């Protein structure tokens, strides 16, 4: 696994520190990767708020750019509590307000994802730590970054968890995810 640059002072801690964290599986994901495409996996905790927004926004931007054939895009959570669920209604609502449709079902990241995807993009540092722990169990090829490494606003490194907040938090998250996804796409296009 190739980690993106970590800001000074960051440490990699035990991902099980969060009470409701489940064990991250290392089972085989059966989907095959298409080597002609650039594959991007967005990762958050539950895979019902932030990473579905990132997946939907990135898909939307890729479609607008006429590049749908060049990308494989997905999202996953480090936790398993919401597996099989549609995105949180507040995430779908804010996306819809901006003309973006969310069409994901929550799933949990596996170590195979770290071999299958070219880029694994974490929403926050806790996700990043969990991804690194998962890499220790097997997957090694993905380039791993924090999404907000691509945000040029300069007002933070993480996409905050909006789950326990109100609708305004989802709007803030939408805006920072949109900015970051646009810059990520611009970089990948130029690569």
CA separation for the pair 28, 113 (Å, rounded) = 9
Helical (H) or strand (E) element with 122? strand 119-122
| Number of Cα atoms under 13 Å in the Cβ half of residue 172 | 13
What's the half-sphere exposure (Cβ side, CA atoms, 13 Å) at 92?
10
Examine residue 163 and tell whether it contacts ligand 4NP (CB under 6 A).
yes
Single out the catalytic residue among 44, 90, 113, 148.
Answer: 44
Can you tell me which of 40, 41, 44, 144 binds ligand 4NP, judged by CB under 6 A? 44
Is 50 in the active site? Answer: yes
Find the part of the chain contacting ligand 4NP (CB under 6 A) among 31-39, 45-53, 55-63, 65-73. Answer: 45-53
Scanning 34-42, 43-51, 140-148, 181-189 for contacts with ligand 4NP by CB under 6 A, the matching segment is 43-51
Token code pair at residue 84: 């099989």
Say whether residue 92 binds ligand 4NP (CB under 6 A). no
Contact 118, 40 (CB under 8 A): yes
Is position 146 an interface residue for ligand 4NP (rule: CB under 6 A)? no
**Residues forming the site for ligand 4NP (CB under 6 A):** 20, 44-50, 77, 81, 161, 163
Residues known to be catalytic: 44, 50, 161
């Amino acid at each position: 696994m190739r980690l993106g640059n970590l800001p000074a002072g960051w440490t990699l801690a035990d991902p099980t520190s969060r009470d409701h964290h489940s064990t991250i599986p290392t089972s085989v994901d059966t989907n095959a990767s298409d080597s002609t495409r650039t594959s991007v996996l967005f990762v958050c905790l539950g895979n019902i708020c932030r990473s579905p927004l990132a997946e939907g926004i990135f898909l939307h931007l890729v479609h607008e750019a006429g590049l749908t054939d060049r990308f494989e895009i997905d999202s996953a959570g480090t936790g398993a509590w919401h597996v099989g669920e549609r995105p949180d209604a507040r995430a779908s609502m804010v996306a819809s307000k901006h003309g973006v449709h969310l069409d994901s079902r929550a799933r949990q990241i596996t170590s195979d994802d770290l071999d299958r995807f070219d880029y694994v993009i974490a929403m926050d540092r806790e996700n990043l730590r969990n991804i690194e722990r998962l890499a220790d169990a097997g997957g090694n090829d993905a380039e791993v970054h924090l999404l907000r490494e691509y945000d040029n606003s300069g007002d933070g490194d993480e996409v905050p968890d909006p789950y326990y907040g109100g609708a305004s938090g989802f709007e803030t998250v939408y805006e920072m995810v949109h900015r970051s996804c646009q810059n990520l796409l611009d970089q990948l296009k130029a690569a």
